[in-house]
């Protein structure tokens, strides 16, 4: 039986300086992987190569991958995690804000996936993880740009999985529910989310922790998931399964 050990693996995580991305970086390192982070707002992380990168800019992504691959000496796992939130009534959603969420959450994942795929295809394959959301599989009001962008990520994972399987590249998506991150803290501070209501709506009775999403990423990146591709793993405490009230 294969384990979720990542010893000897070389991984890139976008948006890895905070929140879910940082938890994934820590989980991968604990599992034995070498990790490089691409982040628009880089901060120093002990034992990790951190490279400034705007995932919505093709040249920045290409340069970031060049630097990361050089630092790591190769590439086995890529996590396209960088993303932004959007929570406002659709009548108040201006085009610039719409384009911003699309450029990061959808274009950025595409550019990251494409760059990863090109490189992995030359070295025998690897594992590519795309960060979606439960709101890429179910809808919610006043989150149009976010829902649309994340649903695109879900379909991207499926389409790339079947196209790149012959190249040895596994592609999966992770769809978290409400996770305790700076994103959620900001929305709570703005009065856009009520933590008590979220916890009451979630079958397990609480929000998700970042390390729980990281555990899913570690599994999907490892040989324990060697036959898993084209899948969307929900880490939402039962939110999307619950349709009673």
The residues carrying an active-site annotation are 146
Question: Would you say 16 and 217 are in contact if contact means Cβ atoms under 8 Å apart?
Answer: no
Question: Would you say 36 and 71 are in contact if contact means Cβ atoms under 8 Å apart?
Answer: yes
Residues 81 and 210: their CA atoms lie apart, in Å, by 12
Q: What b/e string do you get for 24-61 counting C-beta neighbours within 10 Å, with b at 16 or more?
A: bbbbbbebebbbbbbbbeeeebeebbbbebbbbbeebb
What is the DSSP code (8-state) at residue 173?
E
Tokens of 39: 């982040």
Burial-class residue 65 by CB neighbours within 10 Å (0-12, 13-18, 19+).
Answer: buried
CA dist list (Å): 106 to 81, 98, 118, 124, 217: 11, 11, 18, 26, 19
């Amino acid at each position: 039986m294969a384990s979720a050990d990542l010893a000897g693996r070389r991984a890139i995580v976008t948006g890895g300086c905070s929140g879910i991305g940082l938890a994934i970086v820590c989980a991968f390192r604990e599992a034995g992987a070498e990790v490089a982070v691409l982040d628009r707002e880089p901060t120093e992380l002990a034992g990790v190569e951190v490279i400034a990168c705007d995932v919505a800019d093709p040249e920045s992504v290409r340069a970031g991958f060049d630097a990361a691959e050089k630092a790591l000496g190769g590439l086995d796992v890529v996590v396209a995690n960088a993303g932004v939130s959007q929570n406002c009534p659709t009548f108040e959603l201006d085009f610039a804000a719409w384009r911003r969420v699309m450029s990061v959450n959808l274009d950025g994942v595409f550019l990251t996936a494409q760059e990863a795929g090109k490189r992995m295809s030359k070295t025998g394959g690897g594992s590519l993880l795309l960060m979606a959301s439960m709101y890429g599989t179910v809808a919610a009001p006043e989150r149009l740009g976010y829902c649309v962008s994340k649903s695109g990520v879900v379909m991207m994972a499926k389409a790339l999985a079947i196209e790149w399987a012959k190249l040895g590249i596994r592609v999966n998506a992770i769809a978290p529910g409400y996770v305790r991150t700076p994103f959620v803290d900001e929305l709570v501070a703005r009065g856009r989310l009520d933590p008590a209501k979220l916890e009451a709506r979630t079958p397990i009775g609480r929000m998700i922790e970042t390390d729980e999403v990281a555990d899913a990423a570690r599994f999907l990146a490892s040989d324990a998931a060697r036959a898993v591709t084209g899948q969307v793993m929900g880490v939402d405490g039962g939110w999307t399964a619950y349709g009673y009230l």
